[in-house]
């Protein structure tokens, strides 16, 4: 048996197909821009739970690791409501983050890590999206990062928060 669509459904299907095709061409959404009024925080714990509410019995939305950047949205007692790289809101316990250091996370599916600030420097290795580092500086369009004492470089468009 063949199913027939009403004429009124066809424009909706065309629109849906167009949106799906556009999403496939554009790829994953870009990282959310950091608001100038939101304070940058870095996860200081080796591992931290981002929760749906300000309590230890709230659902864990995402487990993140040291140096994951977050932006502060609000504070409720010892809990902080934060925005992540994708713009999603979570709660984290205050003692698991600090505003005393800079950090960045990778926003592309794969990013080349180099030994110096430029494509003329040899690619050291590649890292996946959400890999996070302590930011220690920048030079032109390159961000200087460290991990376990090793200094490395990544191009500025591959990290969040965006670098100026």
Is the pLDDT at 64 greater than 80? The verdict is yes
Query: 3-state class of 54 per DSSP?
Result: coil
Q: What is the DSSP letter of 86?
A: T
The tokens for 150 are: 């090793």
- Report which listed range, 16-25, 36-45, 119-128, 154-163, is most confident: 119-128
Domain with CATH 2.30.30.40 in the chain: 40-100, 104-160
Q: What is the DSSP letter of 115?
A: S
Q: How far apart are CA 117 and CA 140, in angstroms?
A: 8
Read off the pLDDT of each residue in 97-125 and give the average, rounded to a whole number: 97
Is the pLDDT at 139 greater than 50? The verdict is yes
Q: How far is CA 45 from the centre of its chain?
A: 17
The tokens for 17 are: 């197909």
Q: What is the DSSP letter of 92?
A: E
- CATH no., domain 40-100: 2.30.30.40
For 39-61, write each residue's pLDDT tens digit: 999 999 999 999 999 999 999 99
Read off the pLDDT of each residue in 10-31 and give the average, rounded to a whole number: 39
- In the predicted model, what is the mean pLDDT of the chain? 84
104-160: which CATH architecture?
Roll (2.30)
163 or 117, which is more confident: 117
């Amino acid at each position: 048996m063949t199913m027939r669509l009403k004429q009124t459904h066809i424009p909706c299907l065309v629109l849906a197909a167009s949106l799906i095709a556009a999403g496939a061409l554009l790829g994953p959404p870009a990282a959310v821009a950091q608001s100038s009024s939101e304070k940058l925080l870095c996860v200081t714990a080796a591992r931290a739970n981002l929760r749906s509410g300000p309590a230890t019995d709230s659902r864990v939305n995402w487990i993140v690791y040291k140096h994951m950047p977050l932006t502060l949205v609000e504070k409720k007692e010892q809990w902080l409501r934060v925005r992540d790289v994708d713009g999603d809101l979570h709660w984290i316990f205050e003692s698991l983050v600090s505003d005393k250091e800079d950090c960045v996370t990778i926003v592309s599916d794969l990013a080349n890590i180099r030994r110096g600030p430029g494509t003329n420097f040899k690619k050291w290795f590649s890292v996946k999206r959400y890999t996070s580092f302590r930011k220690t500086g920048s030079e032109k369009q390159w961000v200087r990062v460290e991990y376990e004492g090793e200094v490395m470089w990544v191009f500025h468009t591959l990290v969040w928060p965006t670098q100026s």
